[in-house]
Amino acid sequence: MTTAHINRIATAVPEHEVYDSFVVFAENMLEDPRLRSVFRRMASPSEISHRHSFLNPHIEPECAMAFGPGLTAETMRFHVV
């Protein structure tokens, strides 16, 4: 019987740091100033300082706005060739 061996274990961190961009994006999605304030209070003590993604957080503004409520059709315009 052949014995199986683990030859290598590797990890990788995606290149884009996205936490600060996410906080700004999420806050701007909230229209109610009270909800924005609550969100800020929740995000601040979360002690999350790094969040990485393979998605680039620095996308075109018109692209980012396509992710608003009720804009699925507009969002799909950026994904369909």
Is the pTM higher than 0.85? The answer reads no
Task: Write down the pLDDT at residue 20.
Answer: 84
- Cβ proximity of 52 and 14 under 8 Å: yes
Intra-chain end-to-end CA distance of the chain, in Å? 51
Task: Write down the pLDDT at residue 38.
Answer: 92
Counting beta carbons within 10 angstroms of the beta carbon of residue 62, is it exposed (0 to 12), middle (13 to 18) or buried (19 or more)? exposed
Query: What pLDDT band is residue 32 in, cutting at 50, 70 and 90?
Result: very high
Region of poorest pLDDT, from 18-27, 38-47, 53-62: 53-62
Domain residue extents for the chain: 16-77
